[in-house]
Structure 1
Amino acid sequence: MKLTVIICTHNRFQLLASAIDSLNAAHKPDHCEINILVIANACTDETVSKLQQYRELQPEYNLLPLSFAEEPKAGKSYALNRAVNQVREGYLCFIDDDHRVDLNYFAAIAKAINNFPDTALFCGPIFPDWQGDEPDWIHDTSKYKIYPLPIPYFDLGQQPLRLTEKSHAPLPGGGWVVIHRDVFKRVGLFSEKLGPTGHNLVGSEDTDFFLRALRQGETFYYIPDIVQYHYVDKKRLRLNYLMANCFQRNRSFTLTCNPMRRAVPLYLWRQLFNHMIGTVFSLSLNRTRFYLMRCASTLGEIFGLLQTRKL
């Protein structure tokens, strides 16, 4: 069984190093060939030189084999497609440079592949890597809890679950999926019209790909044991980030599902008005934060409907 871990990175070597450390710390199942492929996307920091140092130290310290390539064109989709084109066989295990994998990560992937031999796409849960120094409001579960969380959180329970286009379960992000190489031959690559450039919050290149795969009959399973953790960047807890994340997330998702310009339904304008009223008359910081995020989400959906994606 051949597994290639794909990491696309842009000027964040310290986080990347932590992600690679977690891969080396994870248990390695028998009869499983594991390699790491890093795509340095328009990097101008020390990423490339540090990756070269890793390669020089790899034999001495028995580290996982690592290869890397530079993708000069800024944009995650360009980096993802560069990675896909460099892998010829086996399964591609996508992680982001600000993730760490569970100790059982590789063993869980191998078990899933053996248990579901006709499945070509897998995902698992991802949890914020809380350190205990985050503000209390981030854990609020009341009526005015914030959503979506600024730190990715994806948990569909403790049982394997088949994901379909029409199921009520949400689709995962592209940073915690496992995909057989042959899927890309059948479905195509990631859309280079979508996805983040640098560290901006534009996305949905993953959702677009998963929807195309499902529509073409690919099987997609959620496996609860394929666990990753996401680094908690305190900058993501600031109000400006929370609002920008809500806006860009909804704009990108709406544009993916509705690629052609269309009229904004009246209920969205009413929704925006109600959220604005809620903001004006909020009597607490938690309520103000909640309504401002809802305003940003609704505006994102409106802009997504008004924008046309060039296909």
Structure 2
Amino acid sequence: MHRVAVVAVDRVASLDLAIPGQVFGTAHSLDKPPGALFGAPLYDVAVCGQRRGLTITGLGNTDLYQLTAPYDLDHAVTADTLVVPGAPIAVEPPAEVLDVLRKAHDLGARIASICSGAFVLAAAGLLDGRRATTHWTCSQAFAERFPQVELDPDVLFVDNGDVLTSAGAATGFDLCIHMVRGDFGSAVAADVARHVVMAAQRDGGQAQFIVHPEPGGDGGSLEPVMLWLLERLDEPLSLSDIARQAAMSPRTLNRRFRDQTGTTPIQWLLRQRVQHAQGLLETTQLSVEEIARRCGFGSAITMRQHFGRLVRTSPLAYRRAFQMR
């Protein structure tokens, strides 16, 4: 199994600490015995702490409770992936934590951070000369402390391949599911999202400032129209079609989508179509032409264009890679 070490420093953020275990612990093989809820687990997740009696914090760095990490930091050195949750930025990361991150990275591990965990990665020198992000409330402090890092404070997460960073706590879900998708494919990632009752994964380039209105009768939530779109991925839909279904003007629809998802309706729809295509490439032997039809691209040429732009490879190369896995 792929080994994941969650590196917990003292006063670690409660939600940040829980997200990797929830996401990676939920990832299971799609091949499962009849009647079983899960197949074989795909990740072995371990929480590694710098010392006993770690204090866990909540909003505003309020102390909530204490725990004893089941594994020490040495256990993290040989992990395949290390995830560093957020913690108060006023406290310098312990030298032993930085040393573990450097050693693990030198051994080829993938290193990721959630929220202010990016400060720890930067202090270890893993972000020098690289693009990164962190929570918008501490982006100015990050830029001042680490001028050698190319900070992008407006995105949900940044993937540099071996080093990844994410913004606020909830984006940890997006980042971890993104890593599951890269490790085991779109179908497994979608299965994880369903089990944690999470909406379709947001793209890393979307904006951090996203409005989540309370459900109500004013049409503020786009969930009904999103579900309508997901049921019609094979149909040729225009912005006017979507606006008509949402009972609003195209301009209002665009604005609401940007507020709630950080992107436009058409770009959101394209992302869902590409993810659907990824699942079909992984789990079926359908031709690219047939998958393009089922995903609403109209032609294989159009699908290849959008697939290449979003996935950075061709549909056939993607299929070959996941068949080998």
* Superposition TM-score, scaled by structure 1 size: 0.27
Identify the structure with bigger relative contact order (alpha carbons < 8 Å, sequence gap 6+): 1
* Superposition TM-score, scaled by structure 2 size: 0.26
